Amino acid sequence: MGFKEPSFADRQAAAQNARKNIVEKFKAKPGPDDPAVLKKAAERQAQAAARAEAQKQREAARVEKLAREAELAAQAAAEARRLQAEKEAAEAELKAQQKAARDARYAARKAKK
């Protein structure tokens, strides 16, 4: 009552059925000129074109962002240079005022003598 080993004929029939199933599966596949296959290919092409367009838009946005950042950096640098020039001018004016005050005190001391 235990396990019955399949005979050679049983194994041969199973192998033939397996080959037949593989051939049927291959024949059931649609050909390259089948409308369903052509439709899928067209959909894939449309998706690829959409991805390419989206990539172009992302690249354009990135380039625009870099240009804006460069412009902002240039404006910040110009502002920093302007502030530095104003600071240097204020320091020069302060030194000139201090020198004028010092010269006036010196002249007043000389005038007393």
In tens digits, the chain (113 residues) has pLDDT values of 667 888 999 999 999 999 999 999 988 888 778 888 899 999 999 999 999 999 999 999 999 999 999 999 999 999 999 999 999 999 999 999 999 999 999 999 999 88
Q: What is the DSSP secondary structure assignment for residue 29, as one 8-state letter?
A: S
User: In this structure, is residue 44 part of a structural domain?
Assistant: yes
Number of domains making up the chain: 1
User: In this structure, is residue 104 part of a structural domain?
Assistant: yes
Rounded Cα distance between 44 and 29, Å, is 19
User: In this structure, is residue 59 part of a structural domain?
Assistant: yes
| End-to-end Cα, the chain, rounded Å | 143
Instruction: Quote the domain boundaries for residue 107.
Output: 31-112
User: In this structure, is residue 75 part of a structural domain?
Assistant: yes
User: In this structure, is residue 3 part of a structural domain?
Assistant: no
User: In this structure, is residue 12 part of a structural domain?
Assistant: no
User: In this structure, is residue 7 part of a structural domain?
Assistant: no
The pTM for the full model equals: 0.50
